[in-house]
Every structure is written in structure tokens, then in C-alpha cells.
Amino acid sequence: MYANGNQPIIVLKEGTERTKDKEAQFNNIAAAKAVADAVRSTLGPKGMDKMLVNTIGDVVITNDGVTILKEIEVQHPAAKMVVEVAKTQDNECGDGTTTAVVLAGELLKQSEELIDANIHPTVIANGFRMAAAKAVEVLNGIAVDASSDEILKKVAVTSLTGKSIGDEHDRLAEIVVKASKSVAEDGKVDTDNIRLEKKVGGVIGDTYLVEGVIIDKEAVHSRMPKKVENAKIALFAAALEVKKTEFDAQIQITDPASMSAFLAEEENSMKAMVEKIKEIGANVVFSSKGIDELVQHYLAKAGILGYRRLKQSDLEAIGKATGATVVGSVMEITKKDLGTAGLVEEKQVGEDGMAFITKCKNPKAITIFVRGGTEHVLEEVERALNDAIRTVGVTLENKKVVAGAGAPEIELQLRLSEYASSVGGREQLAIEKFAKAMEIIPWTLAENAGIDSIDSIIKLKNAHEKKKDGKYYGLDLSTGEAVDMFKLNVIEPLKVKVQAISSAEEVASMILRIDDVIAARRSAPPAGPPGGGMPGGMPGMM
């Protein structure tokens, strides 16, 4: 800037980068499209996987959209906003993350033509908002009620399809439905109460549901019983050992008798702990802290099974499964604090011992014990199960589903195109572009399956306009034909679609309204090693 005296006025700090107007908008759109393109090839049952290697060499192999976007280090601020869409979708629904990101990228791509035609970004954002509201209305109109176990299982199978789990969809879907219904209470499903415990070994088909909790710990003493039936369980958030002072202290003992008395007192206090546990009738003990060797000895002598150094979350899960209360002091515990389980058993799984707390009455926390041949397989099965659990959970809560395989998106494309002509004004152009963007989902599904995308879109549109139940027709990725998805059992929760469209619209509108990007100068990178060598590390992505 220059004042009247032609003296420059420095407003921004030296080194600050600034892009304005269309340049800023197109830069932001390009960054968001790059993120969408990064995950687009993973969409659908025929989607491909990504191998992600971090800076220390850890490998993740997945086609889960949110996992991919969390692992890659995105630098551009607009790209980060799109990554946030995936995280929100994952938090709200557990599935549909790739759909949300691909839709956001396509909405921005479609808006480029409108910006080029000098249509104001605020007008485009208003049109997108109107289209999203109409889309939610249309989705609610085509949704069907879902309450039976059969539909819940189909929702789980649809979510699991395309993940690296072989042919175990049906078996895992049954486990997921049973687990979700077990923790459902008053119409709400707290999926945090479904724990996934992984152990390398066996095959994916060996995965099973435990109506209780599994703890990856071994008993503290070899002479303790390996199996306790009709278990009475005590939970301690305290150490079963003599309490140490919180500050450095020295005890001076001048004669052997005092030493013997001191040691005897220590032993008596530990004996008293075990006597208290015996007195209230507990025969299994779990502690989040340590158990002294002498206490271990007395517990084993009394036939009490003991485990130490559990995570706080493990204690809470055992409490939910058995009805036990976590107690902060051994001497304060009462019979009311005990939990019950039909069986507590230590089993050898591979090289390690694990505690299985089973046959619990009405457990509020249960465990899916996941098996698989390698660590990478286990991690992908865990991600697949997490997605399926969340989708079944939102279906149990929302009780509404829609057809999958691009059926709702094509229906939206047709209905929004009709709606656009009734709106008029410049917003009509934005609504038409929003409708056009909906085609990207069936287009990508076809593309990833090696089917002609243009033919697929034409077949779907014809089916939706001419068939009796056309709104349920999606793309059969085996044949490339338009088929009723309810007959093919490809079903998705309504909430997943609503959330994906709403989130994509919000982030697209926010990015479009940015007309000025002012970026401060980055701090200088660390100097290279002495002798002129290159510094380590690789440049960030995007």
C-alpha cells in the first residue's frame, strides 16, 4: 500500500503470503478435491486398499476413509477442513466417511463453473443449503422402517462388504447384531460398551462373542485356581500392599526385637487385607495397581484368583458386566460392592494367558474376541467391526434405512433437478449443480468395479423414472444392471446418508465463502547436519 506521499505503508508482516478472490477460491477447491481424490478409489465393495507408511516405518493397510485421512499429514487448511468432515461422520455414524468426503469434493468441483460465470459464492452457498434441506426431506420420504433382526443383519453385512474379511460377512454380522442389542437400553446404544479384544492367531472365522469381559492379563500367582465358578468379584482401584509414605522417610530401629515387630506388623496388615477379602466372600480380585508378593501368597493359599495392574477402562467394563463397584480401599469393601459371574477362567491363547469373565447375568458390557492370522488383518477386522457396530447402533436408535449402491443418490439427483426449476433465480443453478454432484457416488462405485460409469448412470435413471419401486434401484456391481437393492439386501442407515450430505454441504459452503487467504511466514526449518548433509524427513502431503 502507498500513502499520498508515495511512502509504502506495511500492513502485513514480511514474508506473509496472500491470495485473494478467485485465485484463493480455486486454490482451496483444488486442495479439497485432492483430499477427495485420495480416498475415492476406496469407495464401495470393490474399492481398493491403501498402504500407509508413517515416519517410523509402521504400516497400515486399509480402505477405511477416516483412517486414511487421519494417517496422511495434510497441510493445506482447506484440505484439513475436508478431513474434519470425515472425522465428524465417523463420530456421528461410524460409516459413510468416504461418501461424505467424495461428495464434498464433487460439490466444490461443480461450483467452479458457477464461480467462473461470476455467480457470487454467497448465492451458491444459499443454493447448496436449500438443496441439502430438500435432500434430507426426500431421504426421509424414501426411508423405510427397520426394527427386525433380519434388517439389522443386512445393514451390518452391507457395512462389512468390501472390507478385508474374506467370506465371513454373515457370521460377523450376526455377532455385531447380537452385541448391539445386548447393550441397547431405552432406545439408546452405547457402543463403547462393546469391547473388541484382539489376539493374533487362528483365522477371522474364529472370532466370537463373549457375554462378559476378556482381560489380557495372567494370574499373579501360579498356585491360584485357573477356573472359578459362581465367581464373586472384587474390584480395587488401590494397591494390595503396604502403603508407602508420600515423602522420603527413614525409620531407625535400634534392636532386633523392634525389627521383628516392624516386619510382623507389615505382614499382619497384608494378612488383614486378605482376611477382609475372604470375610466378604470374594473369590476373584482385580486391582488397577500392584499386589504384594506376600498378599499373592495368602490369596493363593485361600484359593482366591487375583489380577493386577488393569487399566481403569478394564475395571469399569468388569463392573458393567458383573455389577461390581470399584472400591478405593481394601478395608472399605462390603458384600454389596461384589459383582457376580458364572465363570472366571484363565485360558491360554497362543503364548499368553487371558482372563475370561463369562456367563454374566444381563451384562452391560460385552466383548468380541477378534482372531486373525496377522496384526494387519486384525487391525482391519477391528476397523470393519467398529463401523458395523456403529451402523447397527444408529439403525437401532433411528429405526430408518434406505437402499444402498447409489439408489438414494440417483433419486436425489432426479428430485433435486425437479425442485431446482421450481425455485428460479440464480440459486436454481446452484441446486442443479448440487443435484449433478449426487451422481458421483454411483459413478465412483461403477468406476471402482470396472463397469462403464456412463451406462450405469443411464440405467439407474431409467429404472428410477420407469420402475414401480424405482427409488430402491441401485447398481449391482457384479452385473452392471440396475436392481432393487432391498431384494439384494444392500441396506444402509438413513442417518449415515443424511449426515454425509449435510456435512458435505456445510464444508463446501464454508470453503466457497473464503475469498482471502493470509498465511503467515513459516518458521525456518531446522539446519541440516554439520558437513553440509541434507536434513532428514520428507515433505508433508498436499
The yes-or-no verdict on residue 391 having pLDDT over 80 is: yes
* pLDDT at residue 362 tops 70: yes
Structural domains present in the chain: 17-145+403-519 (1.10.560.10), 147-211+376-398 (3.30.260.10), 214-362 (3.50.7.10)
- Mind listing the pLDDT tens digit for each residue in 90-117? 777 777 788 888 888 888 888 888 888 8
Q: What is the pLDDT of residues 393-407, one digit of tens each?
A: 888 888 888 888 888
The pLDDT-based confidence of 15 (bands split at 50, 70, 90) is low
Is 255 in the active site? Answer: no
Tell me if 397 sits within 8 A of 187, measured CB to CB. yes
Q: Which of 123, 101, 93 is nearest to 35 (CA)?
A: 101
Residues 6 or more apart in contact with residue 30 via CB below 8 angstroms? none
Range of weakest confidence among 61-65, 150-154, 489-493? 61-65
Averaged pLDDT of the chain = 79
Active site annotation includes 97: yes
What is the pLDDT confidence band of residue 538, given thresholds at 50, 70 and 90?
A: very low
Annotated catalytic residue 161: no
Distance CA 77, CA 178 (A): 42
Percent of the chain whose predicted confidence (pLDDT) is above 70: 85
| Dist CA 85 CA 89 (whole Å) | 6
Contact between residue 201 and residue 352 where contact means Cβ atoms under 8 Å apart: no
**pLDDT of 118 over the 80 cut:** yes
The alpha-helical segments, DSSP class H, found in 449-493 are: 453-466
Question: Quick one: 426 exposed, middle or buried, by C-beta within 10 A (0-12, 13-18, 19+)?
Answer: middle
| Catalytic one of 42, 62, 64, 395 | 64
Q: What is the pLDDT of residue 166?
A: 66
Q: What is the pLDDT of residue 153?
A: 85
Residues 418-462 have pLDDT tens digits of 888 888 788 888 888 889 888 888 888 888 888 888 888 888 888
Please say if the pLDDT value at position 6 is more than 70. Answer: no
Rounded Cα distance between 227 and 353, Å, is 12
How far does CA 348 lie from the centroid of its chain?
A: 30
Cα–Cα distance measured from residue 401 to residue 128, given in angstroms and rounded to the nearest whole number? 24
- Cβ-count burial 371-402 (b if 16+ within 10 Å, e if not): bbeeeebbbbbbbbbbbbbbbbbbbbebbbbb
Pairing between strand 491-493 and 400-403?
Answer: antiparallel
Residue 535 pLDDT exceeds 50: no
Per residue in 215-271, pLDDT (tens digit) is 888 888 888 888 888 888 888 888 877 665 445 556 666 666 655 554 555 666 777
- List the single range of 62-71, 324-333, 515-524 with lowest mean pLDDT: 515-524
CB 371 within 8 A of CB 201: yes
- Cell digits for 87? 472425522
Residue 206 DSSP label:
G
The answer to whether the CB of 138 falls within 8 A of the CB of 411 is yes
What would the grid cell of residue 202 be? 487362528
At 297, the pLDDT band (50, 70, 90 cuts) reads: confident
Looking at per-residue confidence, does 505 or 6 come out higher?
505
Which of 90, 314, 337, 387 is the catalytic position?
A: 387
How far is 535 from 542, CA to CA, in rounded Å? 20
User: Residues 209-215: what's their mean pLDDT?
Assistant: 84
Residue 193 per-residue DSSP state = G
Residue 534, pLDDT score: 40
Backbone angles phi, psi at 484, to 5 degrees: -65, 115
Mean of pLDDT values over 505-515? 82
Q: Which three cell numbers stand for residue 365?
A: 458390557
- The reported pLDDT for the residue numbered 540 is 45
pLDDT at 414 over 80: yes
d(CA 266, CA 488): 70
Q: How far is CA 390 from CA 145, 169, 227, 484, in A?
A: 18, 16, 34, 25
Instruction: Give buried/exposed letters for 128-162 (b at 16+ CB in 10 A, else e).
Output: bbbbbebbbebbeebbeebeeeebbbbbbbbbbbb
Residue 266's pLDDT is what? 60
Q: How confident is the model at residue 345 (pLDDT cuts 50, 70, 90)?
A: confident
Strand ranges, E, within 32-155: 50-53, 59-62, 144-145
Give the rounded percent of residues in the chain with a pLDDT score beyond 90: 0
pTM: 0.76
505, 349, 537: which is closest to 438 by C-alpha? 505
Map grid coordinates 449426515 to a residue.
499
Crossing angle for the helix pair 440-448 and 97-116, to the nearest 10 degrees: 120
203 grid coordinates: 483365522
Catalytic residue among 67, 97, 99, 161: 97
If one compares 533 and 281, the residue with the highest pLDDT of the two is 281
* Gyration radius from the chain CA atoms: 30
Distance (Å, rounded) from C-alpha 444 to C-alpha 439? 9
Are 219 and 305 in contact, with CB atoms under 8 Å apart? yes
| Residues 298-343 pLDDT 10s | 888 888 888 888 888 888 888 888 888 888 887 888 888 888 888 8
Q: What is the predicted pLDDT for the residue at 273?
A: 80
The pLDDT score that the predictor gives to residue 154 is 85
The per-residue pLDDT for 257 is 61
Residue of 62, 67, 98, 367 marked active site: 98
Cβ neighbors of 23 (< 8 A, separation 6 or more) are: none
User: What gap in Å lies between CA 205 and CA 202, rounded to an integer?
Assistant: 8
